[in-house]
Structure 1
Amino acid sequence: MTETAVFGGGCFWCTESVFLSLRGVISVAPGYSGGHVEQPTYEQVCGKATGHIEVVRLVFDPDIITFETLLQVFFATHDPTTLDRQGGDIGPQYASAIFFQSESQREIAQHMIEQVQTEIGVPVVTRLLPAQTFWPAESYHHNYYARNPGQGYCQVVISPKLAKFRKRYAQLLAS
């Protein structure tokens, strides 16, 4: 029995590479959600007029990794306090968002948002949104970091983020 989670935490190249390394995560797909354009392209989404957010769709085994644990990783690996921005990536497509797939996910996510906000002492701007159509990204975005580790963005942004993540969450990593 599996579940699905959909998160927007900035550039999907980063979020995909983080979640792919977790034990209990069966698959991770980059894509777009939340907008009004059907079958959007990367270029359209980057144009900032589609309403879509870059997201990852995870299929996971809740007997191995819980939705709450996925949320802990989500909040620890992006900045949920910056509106439509993650570092140098600026625009509505980089919004922090959780597209809940069930009432249970909504409740857990709402509690986690409140908890994170209390812990850090500043407002969390993560959007909590109902499930919407997930449009898969173009094939060249899938497993981007693993296929392009020498690319500048991967070296400067993703590699340091992954190193920090792996150190903090070593117990959750797949072998």
Structure 2
Amino acid sequence: MENLKKAYIAGGCFWGMEDLFRVRPGVKDTEVGYLGGQNDNPTYQNHPGHAEGIEITYDSTVTNYKELLDYFFRMHDPTTVDRQGNDKGSSYRSAIFIQNEDEKQIADEVIKIVDDSGKWPGEVVTTLEPFTKFWVAEDYHQDYLVKNPNGYTCHFERFGTFL
């Protein structure tokens, strides 16, 4: 289907992000995995430099990249370096993995909108990193909060739209 596109983001533990994005209008599929690291075939026990992130497959006739990023900046704190909730370290950094120049321009635009809103206590520290490869995480991480409804998450919608 030519209307299906993919977006790659990281913003803390991948479970919580996946759980919220899976039900967004236009989102057709989500997978949790590892992005931006130093080794091939990363695992939960061995993913140096990788961020815990998600691959979002979306229908571009229903939603768009800008709207996905708007939600991303509302459901995690993009002003903390290498931290979300109780999770600390570069695995939990806020990052957007850019696939092309259009995505970079949109990401820059949305970051400016978020910063200018003053809703967060500091400036956005989300990194824009080149997309290289998405490594799917282990099966037990996929749909984790569906399988474990009382599992830990630090993700929740904090504001209405920035757009």
Give the equivalent residue in structure 2 for 1:42: 44
The answer to whether the 8 Å contact 1:16/1:29 transfers is yes
Give the equivalent residue in structure 1 for 2:26: 24
| CA distance, structure 1, for counterparts of residue 77 and residue 24 of structure 2 | 20
1:80 corresponds to 2:78: yes
Aligned pair partner of 1:58 in 56, 59, 77: 56
**TM-score, normalised relative to structure 1:** 0.84
Cα deviations by residue, 1:4-58 (Å, 9 ceiling, x for unpaired): 100001000000001101121111000001011101110113xxxx110000001
| CA distance, structure 2, for counterparts of residue 36 and residue 150 of structure 1 | 32
In the alignment, residue 92 of structure 2 is paired with which amino acid? Y
Shift of 1:66: 1.0
Give the equivalent residue in structure 2 for 1:173: none
| CA distance, structure 1, for counterparts of residue 73 and residue 137 of structure 2 | 23
1:9 corresponds to 2:16: no
Which residues of structure 1 form unaligned runs of 5+? 170-175
Aligned pair partner of 1:98 in 77, 83, 96: 96
Higher relative helix content: 1
| CA distance, structure 2, for counterparts of residue 97 and residue 33 of structure 1 | 9
- The size of the alignment, in residue pairs, is 157
The answer to whether the 8 Å contact 2:18/2:143 transfers is yes
The answer to whether the 8 Å contact 1:67/1:105 transfers is yes
Which residues of structure 2 form unaligned runs of 5+? none
| CA distance, structure 1, for counterparts of residue 60 and residue 101 of structure 2 | 16
Give the equivalent residue in structure 1 for 2:141: 141
The answer to whether the 8 Å contact 2:74/2:160 transfers is no
Give the equivalent residue in structure 2 for 1:109: 107
| CA distance, structure 2, for counterparts of residue 150 and residue 98 of structure 1 | 28
Shift of 1:101: 1.7
Cα deviations by residue, 1:100-141 (Å, 9 ceiling, x for unpaired): 122111100011111111212732100011111110000000
The answer to whether the 8 Å contact 1:4/1:101 transfers is no
**TM-score, normalised relative to structure 2:** 0.90
Aligned-residue RMSD, C-alpha = 1.7
Shift of 1:61: 0.7
| CA distance, structure 1, for counterparts of residue 114 and residue 150 of structure 2 | 34
